[in-house]
Structure 1
Amino acid sequence: METITGDAALDFCLRLARAQAAMVRRLDAALGGHFGLSFSDFMLLHHLAKAPGGRLRRVDLAERQGLTASGVTRTLLPLEKNGMVARQPDPRDARVGYAVITSAGHEMLDNALVTAREVSAELLRSSAPDQLDALAAVLGSVAGMNLTNS
């Protein structure tokens, strides 16, 4: 296996940061214009929908979002106010709280998924599927993820 140089690694990281910023801008604009959601809101709903029972502990949600616990709480507030997410206490431990996607949140996510998929396909239109699989593996490794905890 060939070792990656510091210059190649830095170039990749700089390109990745620029690509991430462009992707977020495009998804924010599309999701915001159609549904009033930010891409961060969309990701939060997506993580909740994929979780068992449609709920996650706030600390687990924060880890998946790449946010602090207080950052995820600030992100959840407007979604709770709009009825897309609810709070659920743990009956066995009062210190633990869950965020739960509601039926309104599922409906919003289902509609937003169509737009998110279209924008994502447009952003990646010139990439071959095997390139995406390889890049997904690299990005998952950087983020400390695997296919089961995406």
Structure 2
Amino acid sequence: MVTLAVSKNSLGVPLDASGFLVAQTDPLPTLTACSWASAKWAHLDDPEVAILRVSAGKHGDTHALELDDPSLVQALVLDLATTMGIDAPPLEWRVTRWIDALPQYRPGHPARVSAWREGVNAEAPGIHLAGAAYDGLGLPACIRQGRQAAAAIA
């Protein structure tokens, strides 16, 4: 994950959404997602600076892992020039590496999760499974699962 502070004047697109995902089959070499933090969170909004949270690395591809921090930032800025028209280097950046942090769901995952839940319910009623390993790895999915688990025990 790379957090970039960029001049809004350097952007070639309006920040009128929450960001975008890049398909694994897309030819971009490094970029996999870009979240527009300053568009999502009011306390990060600034009239001149945009905060972008950029993900790198595709499942089974070690290209992003092999880059040192400055090279990773440079590679992502090049990909953002292609996708967002950014035409200036970032004002600031921070690299945070979470290697193998996102689950890679395999075919049949929902059925396995259902079986786990049935088994847990039979053996330990009142215990509920929630989190990125089960029904979605994004923050909204994890919050939804937590709320569902809380409602089930309330």
TM-score w.r.t. the length of structure 2 is: 0.28
Q: Which has the higher contact order (CA 8 A, sep 6+)?
A: 2
More strand by share: 2
